[in-house]
């Protein structure tokens, strides 16, 4: 969601929420339109690749404050790519916890957990699961 | 019943049972089962059923090492996942640590050869734990968890004792420490006690006629070991056999006992003094072959005469004390009128005539005999400077009841000896008064008779005095 500032003299609300989009603005005679992002608006894409996952592991990516689950799946194969949103700097939603677990079907592995920050761009991590 | 249906997991991490563990009926899960169950739930995408556990939760548990069903598994519950004492009864073969290490339930396994259904009880902080196991558990595998740590503090330093003390069986106990977690082993062994023939009620009734008191007492059992310190006294009423006393004391120290011994409940009485070696199978000593081998430190009084030799004691300093062994010396093959003298052999073809040195006042009927031997006949004859006096008794170094009284002039440093026999035969044999056997010795004996019609060639020989006494025959060679 973005916001547009409109002079109140037009008799309209001074702030109008607009659909999410990359910031843009236009200047008209006597008025300036622009979109400003809220802290919860994504600002880009984070392409995360997890390597060396044991096939059949459960993967969950969540915010470190456990308020939001971004991804949950059972991984088939040893590599898993996940596309995540990146939020404005300082957003708690950029602080990620990655959980990889395999406790239902043999071979069992100890829960693997790591933390990282979402950034615009791509990053890969090596998942080192230890047999349980 | 599976582990999944036995327990629920609440959002606060509480693992709780649906119904209580029933000893002898419910089947325990291993601690590995607990870990496997939690991990199975922890990789689920969402909660299922009544178990609030999925990948949304933190890791609920970890093992010290890899999963191995053949080994006891120490499980740590994380971070707020927990069981209570009630749930701990459902588990075995490992340990469960929780609450950031503040609580610990450690495995206990009983090994050994036990009589079927030998009851086990466990003491912690000197109290019996409530039983959440069945007697029959020992028939297969006795494995439980015992709480060793609570609120960050070890309970009684982690120490417990596993016991089996069933009246009618030999006893057993084993001390162990649970602080390390995992599974700790108690080695116990019981067997049927064939010396137990009284009912428990009868044994208790006999115990109630006895006194078992702790107090230092220095006593001489009379077996040659001298006066020795004992730290307690078992007083029998004079009509209780040692066999019955043994059974009564086994009852008093059995699991069901309500007696107090040496200030502690009988069911955890172990030894009179901590410095003594324990007699695990029978705290008051074992009974074997009709003889009671009384545990160290106890003095026993009120023993019936018939049982006078059927026990032995161990003093405070570890000296084994045996009751006195009274024996006699006899000579057979006699006729009326034979004169018999039996005295200690001097090893040189004669007898010891200078056994003692005596000083005695005239007319005395009691004299002091320095160095008087403990294997002196209770009554008999003392020869002083060759003069014959009978005596009726002795105590310590005092010989009393002399007859006749010491002759006029008395004796000063006169040689003396006390023969075993010194007198005229009144029949076909002569037997000395009893004396307490100490060590073997040899006697030389003489039989003489110069009376017409009975005269014999003086006979002389030796006989050995052993723990059963001594005897020798007279060989009569006519001297007419």
- The per-residue pLDDT for range B401-426, each reduced to its tens digit, is 999 999 999 999 999 999 999 999 99
The answer to whether position A23 is within a domain reads yes
The C-alpha atoms of residue B195 and residue B203 are separated, in whole angstroms, by: 12
Regarding whether A118 and A65 lie in a shared domain, the answer is yes
Regarding whether A105 and A56 lie in a shared domain, the answer is yes
The answer to whether position A12 is within a domain reads yes
Regarding whether A62 and A8 lie in a shared domain, the answer is no
Domain that holds residue A31: 2-37
Binned average pLDDT, 10 residues per bin, chain B of 480 residues: 95 97 97 98 94 96 95 96 98 98 98 97 98 96 97 98 98 98 98 98 97 97 89 95 98 97 97 97 97 98 89 97 91 96 96 97 97 94 97 93 97 98 97 91 96 93 94 91
The answer to whether position A80 is within a domain reads yes
The answer to whether position A131 is within a domain reads no
Regarding whether A71 and A51 lie in a shared domain, the answer is yes
Buried b (16+ CB within 10 A) or exposed e, B7-35: bbbeeebbbebeeebebeebebbbbbbbb
CB contact under 8 A, A72 and B38: no
- Calculate how close chain B gets to A55, using CA atoms only, in Å: 13
The answer to whether position A33 is within a domain reads yes
How many CB atoms are closer than 10 A to CB B95?
Answer: 27
CB contact under 8 A, A108 and B44: no
What is the domain-level CATH number for residue A84?
Answer: 2.60.40
Regarding whether A53 and A114 lie in a shared domain, the answer is yes
Write down the ipTM of this complex. Answer: 0.74
The helix (run of H) or strand (run of E) holding residue B5 is helix B3-6
Q: Record the pTM.
A: 0.76
CB contact under 8 A, B40 and A103: yes
CB contact under 8 A, B42 and A103: yes
Regarding whether A56 and A16 lie in a shared domain, the answer is no
Q: Hey, what are B161's tokens?
A: 């004792």
Regarding whether A51 and A21 lie in a shared domain, the answer is no
Q: How many domains does chain A have?
A: 2
Residue (of B54, B452, B172, B327) closest to A72 by Cα position: B54
How many CB atoms are closer than 10 A to CB B282?
Answer: 21
> End-to-end alpha-carbon separation of chain B, Å?
106
Chain A residues whose CB is inside 8 A of the B41 CB are 103
The answer to whether position A47 is within a domain reads yes
Please state, in angstroms and as integers, the Cα–Cα distance from residue B306 to each residue in A23, B137, B242, B311, following that order.
114, 44, 10, 11
Chain B residues whose CB is inside 8 A of the A60 CB are 45, 55-56
The answer to whether position A105 is within a domain reads yes
Residue (of B6, B181, B15) closest to B85 by Cα position: B15
Regarding whether A52 and A29 lie in a shared domain, the answer is no
Regarding whether A90 and A77 lie in a shared domain, the answer is yes
CB contact under 8 A, B56 and A60: yes
Regarding whether A78 and A52 lie in a shared domain, the answer is yes
- The per-residue pLDDT for range A40-81, each reduced to its tens digit, is 789 999 999 999 999 999 999 999 998 999 999 999 999 999
Regarding whether A68 and A99 lie in a shared domain, the answer is yes
User: Which pLDDT belongs to residue B293?
Assistant: 98
Regarding whether A47 and A33 lie in a shared domain, the answer is no
B63 at the A interface (CB within 8 A)?
Answer: yes
The C-alpha atoms of residue A104 and residue A10 are separated, in whole angstroms, by: 63
Chain B residues whose CB is inside 8 A of the A110 CB are 59, 62
The answer to whether position A132 is within a domain reads no
Of B40, B63, B67, nearest to A104 by CB-CB distance is B40
B304 at the A interface (CB within 8 A)?
Answer: no
């Amino acid at each position: 969601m973005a916001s547009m500032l409109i002079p109140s003299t037009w008799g309209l609300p001074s702030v109008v929420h607009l659909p999410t989009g990359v910031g843009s603005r236009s200047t008209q005679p006597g008025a300036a339109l622009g979109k400003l992002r809220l802290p919860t608006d994504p600002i880009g894409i984070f392409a995360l690749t997890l390597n060396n996952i044991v096939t059949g592991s459960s993967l969950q990516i969540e915010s470190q404050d456990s308020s939001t689950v971004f991804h949950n799946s059972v991984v088939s194969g040893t590599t898993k790519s996940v596309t995540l949103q990146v939020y404005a700097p300082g957003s708690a939603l950029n602080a990620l916890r990655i959980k990889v677990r395999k406790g239902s079907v043999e071979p069992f592995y100890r829960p693997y957990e790591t933390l990282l920050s979402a950034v615009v761009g791509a990053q890969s991590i090596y998942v080192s699961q230890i047999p349980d | 019943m599976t582990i999944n249906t036995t327990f629920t997991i609440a959002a606060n991490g509480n693992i709780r049972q649906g119904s209580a563990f029933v000893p002898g009926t419910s089947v325990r899960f291993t601690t590995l089962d607990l870990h496997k169950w939690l991990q199975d739930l922890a990789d689920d995408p969402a909660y299922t059923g009544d178990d609030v556990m999925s990948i949304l939760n933190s890791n609920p548990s970890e093992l010290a090492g890899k999963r191995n069903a053949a080994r006891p598994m120490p499980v740590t519950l994380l971070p707020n996942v927990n069981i209570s004492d009630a749930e701990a009864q459902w588990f075995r073969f490992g340990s469960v640590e929780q609450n950031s290490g503040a609580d610990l339930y450690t495995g206990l396994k009983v090994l050994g050869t036990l009589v079927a259904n030998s009851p086990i009880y466990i003491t912690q902080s000197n109290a019996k734990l409530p039983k959440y196991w069945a007697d029959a558990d020992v028939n297969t595998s006795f494995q439980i968890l015992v709480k060793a740590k609570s609120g960050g503090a070890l309970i009684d330093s982690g120490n417990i004792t596993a016991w089996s003390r069933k009246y009618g069986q030999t006893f057993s106990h084993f001390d162990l420490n649970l602080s390390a977690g995992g599974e700790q082993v108690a080695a116990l062994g019981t067997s049927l006690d064939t010396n137990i023939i009284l009912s428990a009620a009868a044994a208790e009734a006999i115990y109630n006629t006895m006194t078992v008191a702790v107090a230092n007492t220095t006593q001489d059992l009379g077996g040659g070991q001298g006066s020795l310190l004992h730290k307690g006294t078992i007083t029998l009423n004079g009509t209780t056999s040692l066999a019955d006393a043994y059974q009564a004391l086994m009852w008093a120290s059995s699991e069901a006992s309500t007696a107090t011994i040496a200030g502690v409940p009988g069911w955890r009485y172990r030894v009179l003094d901590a410095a003594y070696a324990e007699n695990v199978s029978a705290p008051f000593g074992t009974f074997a072959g009709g003889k009671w081998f009384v545990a160290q430190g106890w003095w026993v009084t009120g023993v019936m005469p018939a049982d006078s030799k059927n026990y032995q004691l161990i003093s405070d300093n570890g000296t084994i004390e045996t009751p006195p062994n009274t024996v006699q010396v006899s000579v057979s093959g006699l006729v009326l009128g034979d004169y018999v003298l039996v005295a200690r052999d001097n090893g040189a073809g004669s007898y010891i005539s200078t056994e003692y040195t005596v000083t005695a006042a005239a007319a005395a009927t009691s004299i002091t005999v320095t160095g008087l031997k403990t294997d002196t006949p209770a009554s008999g004859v003392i020869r002083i400077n060759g003069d014959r006096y009978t005596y009726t008794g002795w105590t310590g170094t005092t010989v009393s009841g002399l007859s006749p009284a010491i002759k006029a002039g008395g004796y000063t440093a006169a040689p003396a000896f006390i023969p075993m026999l010194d007198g005229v035969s009144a029949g076909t044999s002569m037997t000395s008064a009893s004396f307490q056997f100490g060590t073997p010795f040899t006697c030389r004996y003489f039989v003489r008779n110069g009376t017409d019609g009975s005269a014999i060639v003086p006979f002389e020989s030796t006989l050995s005095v052993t723990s059963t006494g001594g005897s020798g025959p007279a060989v009569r060679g006519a001297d007419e």
